[in-house]
Chain A
């Protein structure tokens, strides 16, 4: 099962190495790992997607918390959250196919961000499953390359439980 783990870490050199090294040394598998700044310049947030049973993920959480520059660890499993990926995808788009592709982009609430002679670069964001669905929809046209950020997430404040897509 996939678990989204969010870790607040000190924003200083070597922290990513401490965490990546721990994952490698303990043979934990990372699906994705995203690091970015937060509102506090002294802290960064890492969002890590880990696959494993509850026991493995519990170990991941504890071992992460044990890394000295890790300030706080949360496992979002079973919690209402908003989770998002961002993708840039370059799709083969000969002139006659472009209207079709653009309408597909609109359906997915994406954006065309670059137009080449033979390709379109498209930006799509959303939950992982939506990104996957968009890739599948584009496959018939031919995909040149894909760049994805990996998942970032935040718990919802609202009491009512949304579904996995974060919809209320």
Chain B
């Protein structure tokens, strides 16, 4: 394992000082977190540290900020919380990062070692609670293990299939003193990452690609995590392959290019879903055959041979049987794979895809008198020239963002895919803007998603972050309402909440607030919003019962999409 340059370790330091010094050695310059009793020693050392420290209004918000910071910057996000309630409030954020394989290091305070297990004030079994939602966690009970454990945490979080690592730090360890007496290397006998793909498997995969008449590349967040977009593009161009992306994979291949099939799955494009169902070779890269992607698993890509390139061996053949597995780093493997592939025209296949694209594009009613939510996104996409960083809530807002914003670069769409965490959008926009201060950051959110974490608007105001929050306000928990409409006889059980006036709310918190209820006002309001230098919230009063189409109902196969007739009538 590589050793990083580190400061002379000859002086006696407290545990808290060791934490801060080790974080700085790991290259941390930005952190998110919330103070509390048992983390006082740590925050005392952070007082003088050269670290940009962002305090959220709730630990969950802080964790999502660190997560989005990691997604945008490619670095490890760091979040701190106190014991008990502080640590418990991280759980949703950790689970979000864990499901989407985002590198995070969470530091939590813990009560004094001798009190652990005694139900002390603000005590919770943090490692017990967070074990299933982290890649790894541990408690440090001896100050001499502290620096090493932190280094190990960064290593585990940022290598292999990335993920969150939590370190629980009892307050007595944070104040005890220790003089390191030599190098303290990482000691992880059970943690090995295979990055280099098996050469014979790669050449088998290349042959399968060369032989294929109807191939599809199906790529996920792993390509973005591995910074392999360039290599993906090279392979798709050289071998002439259409590319479909998962929600988390969007942006890994430029969606404005003709070979892009956009997103697949439950609310994916009809052309991607048809192509996957009819392909003879599916080349999965950094994707995990999630149920929202595959639909009915037994009927998924029935005629296809499957190549699966993934860093996580446990992902291979977990949900579908894979014919040619290649375990390793996507960047290296795609580069090697591209060497072995030939260009084939595959005219019939591309013609077929072009027909589907012509017949079933993503569409909405352009002549509607109401503001269609898709129209707002269309407008944002064209005014930001496909270049904004887009964060989302979860539900219809997220699916429309994925369908109607055409992403051109990786790390542009920041969304909670696996866990589907409502309330992710606003704190994610804050984390994204901190990671990339020059970028235009737009949170495309739902009213109910926004309600969950809107307290973080105060954080954005405090740091004067020019994030743009677009609430697609239909007054419903839209996606759940859609399911109730389709599958529960329009019985809208508890999907309606009384909302505040979001523009007033934004102004009360010190942000800019606007409301749009006329379709004609959308373009100029979007323009005005994008020009703001302060946090800005726009309440778009959108069509209340618009649905996301197409839709593969739960348990159906990908080609059994609902709503295609509705889309066809819109021509």
Q: Interface residues of B toward A: which range?
A: 20 to 34
A65 near B: Cβ within 8 Å? Answer: yes
Within 104-138 of B, Cβ neighbours of A (below 8 Å) are at 127-128, 131-132, 135-136, 138
| Distance to closest chain B CB from A40 (angstroms) | 10
Residues A58 and B317 in contact, CB atoms below 8 Å apart: yes
The answer to whether A14 and B139 have CB atoms under 8 Å apart is yes
Task: Say whether B189 faces chain A, with CB atoms less than 8 Å apart.
Answer: yes
Within 8 A of B (CB), among A2-21: 9-10, 13-14, 17-18, 21
CB distance from B554 to the nearest CB of A (A): 19
A63 CB contacts on chain B under 8 angstroms = 314
CB of B361 within 8 Å of the partner chain: no
- Listed A/B pairs (18) with beta-carbon separation below 8 Å: A9-B190, A14-B138, A17-B127, A17-B128, A17-B131, A18-B131, A21-B131, A42-B189, A55-B321, A62-B316, A63-B314, A65-B313, A66-B313, A66-B314, A67-B190, A68-B156, A68-B190, A72-B190
Whether the pair B190, A14 counts as a contact (CB closer than 8 A) is: no
* Contacting residues, chain B, for A66 (C-beta < 8 A): 312-314
Q: List the B side residues contacting A69 at CB < 8 Å.
A: 190
Given contacts A10-B190, A17-B128, contact A68 B314 (CB under 8 A): no
Q: Mark B258-297, 1 if CB is under 8 A from A, else 0.
A: 0000000000000000000000000000000000000000
The answer to the question of A38 belonging to the interface, with a C-beta cut-off of 8 Å to chain B, is no
A67 to B134, CA, bound (A): 11
Query: Nearest A residue to B315 by beta-carbon distance?
Result: A62
Map CB proximity to B onto A34-77 as digits: 1 under 8 Å, 0 otherwise.
Answer: 00000000100000000000010011001101111111100000
Using A68-B190, A69-B190, A70-B190 as known contacts, say yes or no to A59 and B135 having CB atoms under 8 A apart. no
The answer to whether A68 touches B313, judged by C-beta atoms less than 8 angstroms apart, is no
Asked if B318 is at the interface (CB within 8 A of a chain A CB), the reply is: yes
Q: Please pick, from A17, A18, A62, the residue contacting B314 in the complex, using a CB distance under 8 A.
A: A62
Given contacts A42-B189, A62-B314, A62-B316, 14 further A-B contacts (CB under 8 A): A10-B190, A14-B138, A17-B128, A21-B131, A55-B317, A58-B317, A65-B313, A66-B312, A66-B313, A68-B135, A68-B190, A69-B190, A71-B190, A72-B190
Tell me, in angstroms, the Cα distance from A151 to B470 when the chains sit together. 60
Q: Let me know if B9 is at the binding interface, CB within 8 A.
A: no
Instruction: Judge whether B508 is part of the interface by a CB distance below 8 angstroms.
Output: no
Specify which chain A residues have a CB less than 8 angstroms from the CB of B138 in the assembled complex: 14
Cα–Cα, bound, A21→B131 (Å): 8
Bound complex: CA of A69 vs CA of B137, how far in Å?
Answer: 10
Taking CB as reference atom, which chain A residue is nearest B321?
A: A55
Shortest CB–CB separation between residue A46 and chain B, in angstroms? 12
> How far does the Cβ of A94 sit from chain B's closest Cβ, in whole Å?
47
Give complex CA distance A25, B130 in Å.
Answer: 12
Across-interface contacts of A17 in B (CB, < 8 A): 127-128, 131
Interface residues of B in 72-127 (CB under 8 A from A): 127
B129 CB to nearest A CB, Å:
11
Please give, as numbers and ranges, the residues of chain A lying within 8 Å of B486 by CB-CB distance. Answer: none
Q: Chain A residue with minimal CB distance to B313? A: A62
**Which A positions have Cβ atoms within 8 angstroms of B?**
9-10, 13-14, 17-18, 21, 25, 42, 55, 58-59, 62-63, 65-72
Q: Which of A58, A62, A63 has the most CB of B within 10 A?
A: A62
Which residue of A is nearest B316, CB measured? A62
The answer to the question of B487 belonging to the interface, with a C-beta cut-off of 8 Å to chain A, is no
Closest chain B residue, CB of each to CB of A72: B190
> What are the residues of chain A within 8 A of B497 when measuring CB–CB?
none
B175-215 CB mask vs A (1 if < 8 Å, else 0) is 00000000000001111000000000000000000000000
Docked complex Cα distance between A42 and B312 (Å): 26
A14 touches B314 (CB 8 A): no
Q: Are A10 and B189 in contact (CB under 8 A)?
A: yes
Beta-carbon nearest neighbor of A15 in chain B: B190
Report whether A68 and B191 are in contact in the complex, using a CB–CB cutoff of 8 Å.
yes
Q: Name the A residues within 8 Å of B132 (CB-CB).
A: 21, 25
- Most chain A CB within 10 A, of B132, B156, B312, B321, is at B132
Given contacts A58-B317, A68-B190, contact A14 B312 (CB under 8 A): no
Q: Complex Cα distance A10/B138, Å?
A: 13
Instruction: Give B135's nearest chain A residue, CB to CB.
Output: A68
Nearest residue (CB) in B for A68 is B136
CA distance A62 to B141 in the complex (A): 30
CB distance from A93 to the nearest CB of B (A): 43
Q: Ordered nearest first, which 8 A-B pairs have the shortest CB separation? A: A62-B314, A71-B190, A68-B136, A71-B189, A70-B190, A25-B132, A69-B190, A21-B131
- Residue of B whose beta carbon sits closest to that of A60: B314
Across the two chains, which residue of chain B brings its CB closest to A71? B190
**Residue among B188, B190, B314 facing the most chain A CB atoms (10 A cut-off):** B190
Shortest Cβ distance from B41 into chain A, in angstroms?
A: 23
A127 CB to nearest B CB, Å: 30
B312 pairs with A59, CB closer than 8 A: no
Complex Cα spacing A65 to B494, Å = 43
Which A residues are in CB contact (< 8 Å) with B189? 10, 42, 71
A44 → B minimal CB distance (Å): 12
- In the complex, what distance in Å separates the CA atom of A58 from the CA atom of B132? 20
CB-nearest residue of chain A to B188: A68
A14 touches B127 (CB 8 A): yes
Rounded to whole angstroms, the CA-CA distance of A18 and B165 in the bound complex is: 13
With a cutoff of 8 Å between Cβ atoms, the chain A residues found around residue B156 in the complex are 68
- Shortest Cβ distance from B170 into chain A, in angstroms? 13
Q: What CA separation (Å) do A30 and B139 show in the bound complex? A: 27
CB neighbours (8 Å) of B312 from chain A are: 66
User: Among B128, B188, B190, B318, which residue has its beta carbon within 8 angstroms of that of A59?
Assistant: B318
Q: How far is the CA of A25 from the CA of B99 in the complex (A)?
A: 14
- B residues within 8 A CB of A13? 139, 141
Cα distance A42–B189 in the bound complex, in angstroms: 10
What chain A residues lie within 8 Å of B314 (beta carbons)? 59, 62-63, 65-66
Of all chain B residues, the one with the shortest Cβ separation from A67 is B190
B194, chain A: closest CB distance, angstroms: 11
The smallest beta-carbon distance between A87 and chain B, in angstroms, is: 32
Residues from chain B with Cβ under 8 Å of A10 in the complex: 189-190
